[in-house]
Amino acid sequence: MRPLRTGSREREGPELQVVPLEQVRSIVRAEVQEAVACFRDTILELKSEISTLRDSVSFISDKYEAISKKFLEFNDHLKVIPTLKNELSILDSRIQSIDSQFNLKEQWSRRSNIEILGIPERKGENLIELVSKIAERAGFALNPQIDVDFVTRVAPMDRSSSRSKPVILRFVSRYRKDDMLAKLRRLKELKSSDIGFPHDSSRLYFNDHLTKNNKLLLKNVKHLAKEKFYKYVWKPIS
């Protein structure tokens, strides 16, 4: 094979180098192989990125389906809320009705009771003797053996209070209880010193034995009456 001439002696300038055709082919082949390898690497990278993108799309799709499912479940729950609200309202009404009935029955069971506040506590006290002295001061002829069912102290509503425990006097007859309570309320300033506690001048108070709910109601009503300048705020429970 003849070599290619790259120049002529008659022309001016540097002499051109003669490159064999086979060498040219080898150079071109190497360049093509390098380009093909680079292209192959690029294709592989693109395939990897596409695979990663496909996985991401699949993950997002799964998440979307899960969120859609949760949303549908949440929407179903929202549809149930009005029914639950209605059922809750019915239950609340029933509870209030039961609570009201219980309060009425509890108050009815106390209809023959007088609550006495302010009697000092002392060890070995005789409550029958004390209530008899109170009845005497009120001008009420109390016969403990006939009139009194029982007399006892009970825990106060405020258990943290340092005051003496209230005394509950239960009558056999409600009418006798009403008579004595009416006379007791005429006593404006009966004190502990008047019934055998010479060193205690605390005032004694006499009330119907109200339930916790009714005591709270009375307290609120009295507060309102004070604001509105009402004269009467309570009546005996018949």
**Domain match, 162 and 213 both:** yes
What is the per-residue pLDDT across 70-80, written as a single tens digit (0 to 9) for each?
888 888 878 88
Residue 53 lies in a domain: yes
Q: Which of 35-39, 89-93, 220-224 has the lowest mean pLDDT?
A: 35-39
pLDDT tens digit sequence for 105-114:
999 999 999 9
Asked if residue 141 belongs to a domain, the reply is yes
Task: Calculate the alpha carbon distances from 232 to 116, 170, 172, 219, 226 in Å.
Answer: 22, 26, 29, 13, 10
Confidence band for 58, pLDDT divided at 50, 70 and 90:
confident
The whole-number pLDDT of residue 28 equals: 81
Q: What is the pLDDT of residue 234?
A: 65
Is 56 a member of any domain? yes
Instruction: Specify whether 120 is located in the same domain as 218.
Output: yes
pLDDT for 97 equals 94
Instruction: Tell me, yes or no, whether 48 and 73 share the same domain.
Output: yes
The last residue of one of the domains, among 109, 130, 146, is: 109
Containing domain of residue 186, as a range? 113-223
Domain CATH code at residue 170: 3.30.70.1820
Instruction: Report whether pLDDT(32) > 90.
Output: no
Phi-psi region of 47 (alpha: psi -120 to 50; beta: other; left: phi over 0): alpha
Q: How many CB atoms lie within 10 A of CB 184?
A: 21
Q: Is residue 98 situated within a structural domain?
A: yes
146 Cβ contact partners less than 8 Å away, ≥ 6 residues apart: 172
Using pLDDT thresholds of 50, 70 and 90, give the confidence band for residue 20: confident
Residue with tokens 């003797």: 129
**Whether 70 and 143 share a structural domain:** no
Number of domains in the chain: 2
**Assessment of whether the complete model's pTM goes beyond 0.85:** no
- Position 111 scores a pLDDT of 95
Nearest to 207 by CA among 140, 113, 119: 113
Query: What are the backbone dihedrals phi and psi of residue 20, each rounded to the nearest 5 degrees, phi first?
Result: -65, 150
Do 137 and 49 have their domain in common? no
pLDDT value, residue 236: 59
Both 100 and 120 in one domain: the answer is no
CA–CA dist 3, 22 (Å, integer): 10
Selected residue with higher pLDDT from 158 and 163: 163
The answer to whether the beta carbons of residues 167 and 115 sit under 8 Å apart is yes
User: Are 131 and 74 a contacting pair, CB within 8 Å?
Assistant: no
Among 88, 109, 130, residue at a domain's last position: 109
